[in-house]
Chains A and B, each alone.
Chain A
Amino acid sequence: MVRLLTHNILACHAKDCNTNNFPLEFKDVQLEIREAEFNPEFLKGFLPKLEWKALVDTAIQLGDTSLPLEQPEMLDDEFLKNLHHVLLEIHVEEGSMTCPNCKHVYPISNGIPNMLLAEHEIG
């Protein structure tokens, strides 16, 4: 699966691609929405580790505009529910992710991204 939880973690790892290699850019995506159990405590713990701008920009690109551009100081229920939906309920089933720096394309098939590189691309 590629949910935005995972997307916020992944970065390009091609040889010598060390800067501007995050976030990977989704292309030609097919989305599926699946309900997931709401766990506010998980979200509160994970929040400080998120790259917030990457998350908001990617969510907007996938058509979800529910998140504020800046992380709010007050974590109310409405915000946490929106965050839950963006991180854990939007599944990218098909498509690809392109590195903004080296343009390497990581394909996504059956909901599983392929992060392998060809032999000559490995650092």
Chain B
Amino acid sequence: MAPRPLQAAKVEGEPEIYETQNVHAIYDDIAAHFSSTRYKPWPIIANFLSSLTTGWVGLDSGTGNGKYLPLPLDRPGDVWTIGLDRSKNLLQIARKAGANGVVREVLVGNVLDNPWRPGVFDYAISIATIHHLSTHERRRSAVKRLLESVSPDHGRVLIYVWAIEQDELSKRRVVSEDDIPSLTGKDVVVPWVLSKELSSAEKSLSDGGPQEPQVYNRYYHMFAQGELRGLVIEAAAELGLQVASKPEDVPKNTRGVEIVHDGWERSNYYVELKLW
């Protein structure tokens, strides 16, 4: 199928209500079908999880079907990742993520909340989640919550979001050739054509005869180059964190965050952070 341009999103009204209707409710309906298409961990994320110290406990903010909860596969149980998501239907799948019937720890929650002891986690990941928040302020708040959730001494954070620049493997195309590259990203809706066999929507259970497949338009903010790094810098400033590598002698009362890597991979922007 040729890549097709995406329809622009019109974000209207209260952002919470907009996201409830255009993100959360949809994931509850498409949970089973969505999950069946999301099974392969991405290498950078798998490597990040493999590099963690034994005994660490982390947060997967926006865990979806929980595909990262069983990692690292080569040393299972050396770390525990707790999955948080707004979709109860996705969490029912996430709690059984991975092989061997191991039960995972999952919570219903909002990525803008912090229902835990401050800094209690050793690491946090947020994969393909922050792009579902419909304002710049809310996306920045989500980054702040991640920075606050991990240890100020050694906390590590990995964030992935969809990029405007989609590669040739993607079915999606956001920027047409004559578009000027955007600096502030782009609000779009991404259609999901729901397989009726895998519908999690309650209304489909009482269906009568054959119907057209249902199409759900999910809201996405597709990130521009440099935008994710910019969010991190803003969030760090609001938390009084310096954005720099850890100095050899840390001055008293100084805390910071190092941007370990950032880049573009397979139609996503990512950033890896380390607190000090």
Interface residues of A (CB under 8 A from B): 1-3, 5-6, 9-13, 22, 34, 36-37, 39, 41-47, 49, 51, 91, 106, 110-117, 119, 122
CB distance from A103 to the nearest CB of B (A): 15
Interface residues of B (CB under 8 A from A): 16, 53-57, 76-80, 82, 84, 86, 88, 91-92, 95, 102-110, 113-117, 120-122
Chain B residue with minimal CB distance to A41? B54
Q: Which residues of A contact B80 (CB under 8 A)?
A: 5, 42, 46
- Complex Cα gap A87–B219 (Å): 38
Chain B residue with minimal CB distance to A111? B95
Q: Name the residue among A2, A114, A115, A119 with the largest chain B CB count within 10 angstroms.
A: A115
Which residue of A2, A3, A5, A22 contacts B117 across the interface (Cβ within 8 Å)?
Answer: A22
Q: Which residues of A contact B88 (CB under 8 A)?
A: 112
Q: Establish whether residues B82 and A39, one from each chain, have CB atoms under 8 Å apart when the complex forms.
A: no
- Ordered by A's residue number, 28 sampled pairs between the chains whose C-beta atoms are within 8 Å are A1-B104, A3-B105, A6-B82, A6-B105, A9-B57, A9-B82, A9-B121, A11-B117, A12-B115, A22-B117, A34-B103, A37-B77, A37-B102, A39-B78, A42-B55, A43-B55, A44-B55, A45-B53, A45-B54, A45-B56, A110-B92, A112-B88, A112-B91, A112-B106, A113-B107, A114-B107, A119-B16, A122-B113
Q: Establish whether residues A42 and B108, one from each chain, have CB atoms under 8 Å apart when the complex forms.
A: no
Q: Establish whether residues B55 and A45, one from each chain, have CB atoms under 8 Å apart when the complex forms.
A: yes
Which residue of B57, B92, B106, B115 contacts A46 across the interface (Cβ within 8 Å)?
Answer: B57
CB distance from A21 to the nearest CB of B (A): 9
Q: Is the interface of B mostly helix, strand, loop or mixed?
A: loop
- Complex Cα gap A39–B106 (Å): 20
CB distance from A29 to the nearest CB of B (A): 16
Q: Establish whether residues A49 and B57, one from each chain, have CB atoms under 8 Å apart when the complex forms.
A: yes
Q: Establish whether residues B120 and A49, one from each chain, have CB atoms under 8 Å apart when the complex forms.
A: yes
Q: Establish whether residues A112 and B55, one from each chain, have CB atoms under 8 Å apart when the complex forms.
A: no
Q: Establish whether residues A42 and B79, one from each chain, have CB atoms under 8 Å apart when the complex forms.
A: yes
Q: Establish whether residues B108 and A113, one from each chain, have CB atoms under 8 Å apart when the complex forms.
A: yes
Chain A residue with minimal CB distance to B52? A45
- Complex Cα gap A116–B114 (Å): 10
Chain B residue with minimal CB distance to A1? B105
CB distance from A122 to the nearest CB of B (A): 7
CB distance from A12 to the nearest CB of B (A): 7
- Complex Cα gap A36–B77 (Å): 9
